[in-house]
């Protein structure tokens, strides 16, 4: 497997984690539940990256659009890295 394919897969996996983080944020959580544990792990993984965009892009009408921008930027970075490697 080429290194470009591995990097592409890792970026794709991280994008999926961001989407799952968004979906889990809509589910009510109770402390100590499985959903709470999953959300905590996801927040440790994708939270620092998303907070960069949350500081720049304020919520509009109570809706946080920063994950969408974060995924788009991640896609651009992925394309740049893969093009350099190919």
Residue-wise pLDDT tens digits, 4-41: 889 999 999 999 999 999 999 888 888 888 999 999 99
Rounded to the nearest integer, the mean pLDDT of the chain is 91
**At residue 60, what are phi and psi to the nearest 5 degrees?**
-115, 115
Which of 3-7, 53-57, 80-84 reaches the highest mean pLDDT? Answer: 53-57
For position 55, what pLDDT does the model report? Answer: 94
Cα separation, 72 vs 57, in Å, equals: 14
Reported pTM: 0.87
More confident residue, 82 or 73: 73
What's the mean pLDDT in 43-51? 95
Asked if residues 2 and 80 have their Cβ atoms less than 8 Å apart, the reply is no
Return the domain boundaries, the chain: 3-85
Q: Burial-class residue 20 by CB neighbours within 10 Å (0-12, 13-18, 19+).
A: middle
């Amino acid at each position: 497997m080429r290194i470009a394919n591995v990097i592409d897969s890792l970026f794709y996996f991280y994008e999926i984690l961001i989407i799952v983080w968004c979906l889990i944020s809509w589910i009510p959580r109770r402390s100590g539940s499985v959903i709470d544990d999953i959300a905590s792990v996801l927040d440790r993984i994708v939270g620092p990256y998303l907070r960069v965009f949350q500081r720049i892009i304020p919520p509009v009408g109570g809706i946080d659009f920063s994950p969408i921008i974060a995924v788009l930027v991640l896609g651009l970075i992925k394309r740049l890295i893969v093009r350099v490697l190919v």
